[in-house]
Structure 1
Amino acid sequence: MNLQDSAAIRGTIVYCRYDPGADDASEALRIIEDGLLVIRAGRIVAIGAASDLLKELDAQAEVVDRRGKLIVPGFVDAHIHYAQTDIIASYGEKLLSWLERYTFPAEMRFADPEVARDTAAFFVSELLRNGTTAALVLGTVHAHSVDALFGEAQQRGMRLAAGKVLMDRNAPEALRDTAESGYRDSQALIERWHGCGRLSYAITPRFAPACSDAQLAAAGELACHYPDTYVHTHIAENVDEVAWVAELFPWSRDYLDVYDRYQLLRRGSVYAHGIHLSASEHQRITQAGAATVFCPTSNLFLGSGLFDYGRACCNRLTVGLATDVGAGTSFSMLETAAEAYKVSQLNGVALSAGRLLYLATLAGAETLNVDDRIGRLDIGYEADFVVLDPEATPLMARRNQHIDTTVDRLFMLMMMGDDRCVHSTWVQGVCQHHRDASD
């Protein structure tokens, strides 16, 4: 093996080869207690025991020693609103009133390109500070909101997908586009950004009630014309929302049928929430190669309901995990995983440490159809990874003294962890965040 001109990082390497909840999961979670991850030109070129690989490195190769810490794949946030960063933890509303009281006023501010640029810079830094190296993001109705976000992500080398919100009804006049302008602006953004480096475009009807038939039809035309883009929207988050969709689209048999009618159900379609989907809708999403997203902190915060992850898995849904900031209450995928564990406990399923890591990493990559590039730590994969510190706080350090296995240490990190545990975040082999810049 030629490991010349490479760099390496040493520590306890943990990642999922596949879903640890699968029928034969004995080999799903890979742990290398004293491991070495070798990187060249932004990709992983070797992974294995440090005792073996150190012998093959150049004498001059840089080895970053992080023994005592865990090296895991970068987190993948499968649904987040960057324009809602400044309204996180706003009090007291359910979904539809949350939009009226907090979301729409916040998004109106993005008519100012400077607000978009400032928020995008903070947002991307906050993702990296929390160990998130890839995300699927909603902009606002303003095309320049997406330009600002893509520009920031491109500077950091992140794998990020985003789109301009399409919304021509049931919203303030200042936040409405039209079917024609939405199509035109989205097409221009696709031509400008889609496939540029690690960036991808997501056609983004906000949700069915905010879109006329004409706008949904235009979004479907875009989806057909650009089949390798994503379709990113919301579905069945709240019971009142589901009832509203039935009123607005009386011809539909269910919520999913609205998107299906307008050619927005296909591979690459990502539907956030899906708490109140039927078994039939699960089946049709699976058959189409689409995915849903589990957003536990926002579902709890808005009182929307408990996503039944066990039921979704039984129905063979592809499910990612997401913070859903700003109704979601943290940028941390560790905190989000902890809430997913608690929600699943209430539904009678105890998620293992490996399953939680899978949800925060590889499942998100599968949701975005990029699991051949990110989500694992394997040869040929893009070198996006996070170094986690199990002694980031005094309580965690004390708890860590009483843990004997890496699996238990991983579970502790998932239950007690937050941004303080993210020692460093690496994107394409470059450290883009370090908790202690002087280290």
Structure 2
Amino acid sequence: MTNHDTTACAYRAQLLYFVADPACLEDPSEAMRYYSDGLLLVNAQGRIEACGDYARLADSLPADVRLVDLRGKLIMPGLIDTHLHFPQTDMIASPSPGLLPWLENYTFPTERRFEDKSHADEVAGVFLDELLRNGTTTALVYGSVHPESVDAFFEESHRRNLRMIAGKVMMDRNCPEYLRDTAESGARESEDLLRRWHGKGRQMYALTPRFAPTSTPEQLAACGELARAYPDVFMQTHVAENKDEVKWVSELFPKSRSYLDVYDSFGLLRPRAVYGHSIWLDEQDRARLHETGSVAAHCPTSNLFLSSGVFDFVAMRQSGVLHTLATDVGGGTSFSMLRTMNEAHKVARLGGWHLTAAAMFYLATEGTARALDMQGQIGTLAPGAEADFIVLDPQCTPLIARRSSLLDSLEEQLFVLAMLGDDRCISATYSAGRRVHQRDA
């Protein structure tokens, strides 16, 4: 196993993290902890030891701690992406008139190559490089149907000591024969992978039925049994992304009240269950998501690219549904959570909701950590948390630098980064206290 020990370091910069949802408070600043001249102390075990004003903490630093001066930059928790497909890295930006032909013409043929472990190894490295380059330190990741793909992903993530969540796609019908498992083999292979990887280092497993149309009732029932047997693992799938898909599900499961009800009937709504897209839901569906502690992952760049529909922020918030942001690569068109925020803001405005910059960064950090039942572990700079953080550079491009020189508030600075930013804004990415990406290296 790779030695992931690090040395204690302190970082001087602007610091920002969240302790509550800014959208729920009359004064959003009360949801933040912001230090214009801050000090972040990371111990040798890769955890945050202290976070606060430089003037208050500097004199108490141990003599052997290395001080890294990053003044002019902003340190925040690493970003969290709750829905994307690592086998689709090589087919991002593939043209298609809609979701179902996109799957048939691009997705399935691309995923076929992941039966080759050496290919999966290569793509896992490229995929993780892209996440880290964009400041994403934790993601919920779909493998292919092949167990080799998940082994490849976890092996590379474990080598880098990243906090990642992933799973093997389960798919036993309505797909090419070369990508098909069975209800029995899909459950057996998933359980084998789960036992091998869940809790190994910083790796976590997610049961991953692709979506209801590609799983028989027998496979969904087997997945439900695994979900009950392993309540601390995650569960991820797609729901109500596209009107044609919703109609197809109603034909395949005529006894179910709705698309979401299909999963509910097999016991797949629960904490740590993440439902990608969640567009075409009704009030009863949203009530069930809320009641069960399930999570809706909003994928704006994918939804716009495939013309799937508009995520209803107003209804989700009124129903109290836990919701997060996600890139959905390769239906999504960028690995950047900053570009994802950009599109999420516009989608929210179309639906009558003003998504502030503070709310967007909360959704990509502390808000998602809470939704995933990982509060205090990731998504924060609070003492005791894992030291996964990013260094944002307000001078990264001439336009962002000029715009940043004319600002009146922290909200404006965050809004500029979300509207104009991309991977160039990420000066560095740290995982468990170790630098795992440097922009100019």
Q: Partner residue of 2:13?
A: 11
Report SS of the residue matched to 1:58: coil
SS in 1 for 2:24: coil
User: Partners of 2:142 and 2:210 in 1: how far apart?
Assistant: 9
Q: Is 1:286 paired with 2:290?
A: yes
Q: 1:37 aligns with which of 32, 36, 40?
A: 40
The answer to whether the 8 Å contact 2:25/2:31 transfers is no
Q: Choose the corresponding residue for 2:30, options 13, 24, 27.
A: 27
Give the match for residue 384 of structure 1: 388
Give the aligned partner of residue 176 of structure 1: 180
Q: Counterpart of 1:264? A: 268
Between the two proteins, what is the percent identity of the paired residues? 53
1:93 Cα offset (Å): 2.6
Q: State how far apart, in whole Å, the 2-side matches of 1:13 and 1:254 are.
A: 44
- Please list, as runs of the form range in 1=range in 2, the aligned pairs for 1:216-365 lying within 5 A after superposition: 216-365=220-369
Partner-residue secondary structure (3-state), 1:71: strand
Q: Which amino acid aligns with 1:7?
A: C
Contact 1:6 1:57 in 2 (8 A): no
2:213 matches 1:209: yes
Residue 84 of structure 2: SS of its match in structure 1? Answer: strand
From 186, 195, 201, the counterpart of 2:199:
195
How many residues are treated as equivalent by the alignment?
433
Instruction: Give the SS at the match of 2:14.
Output: strand
How far off its partner does 1:23 sit? 4.0
Q: Does the Cα contact within 8 Å between 2:376 and 2:382 map onto a contact in 1?
A: no
Shift of 1:282: 0.7
Cα deviation, residue 272, structure 1: 0.5
Instruction: Determine the C-alpha separation between the residues in 2 that align with 1:120 and 1:375.
Output: 23
What displacement does 1:394 show?
A: 1.0
1:26 to 1:391, Cα distance in 2 relative to 1, 3 A = closer
Where 2:37 maps in the other structure, the secondary structure is strand
**Pair 1:131 & 2:116 matched:** no
Partners of 1:111 and 1:243 in 2: how far apart? 31
For normalisation by structure 1, the TM-score amounts to: 0.97
Give 1:29's aligned amino acid.
M
Query: What is the aligned partner in structure 1 of residue 4 from structure 2?
Result: none
TM-score, normalised by the number of residues in structure 2 = 0.96
Q: Which amino acid aligns with 2:37?
A: D
Separation in 1, partners of 2:39, 2:317: 33
Give SS of 1:335's match: helix
Kept in 1: contact 2:270–2:293 (CA 8 A): yes
Q: Helix, strand or coil: the match of 1:21?
A: helix
| 2:53 is the counterpart of 1:49 | yes
- 2:51–2:382: 8 Å Cα contact kept in structure 1? yes
The two structures, once aligned, show a CA RMSD in angstroms of: 1.1
Runs (5+) with no aligned partner, structure 2: 1-6
Offset of 1:26 from its aligned partner?
A: 4.6
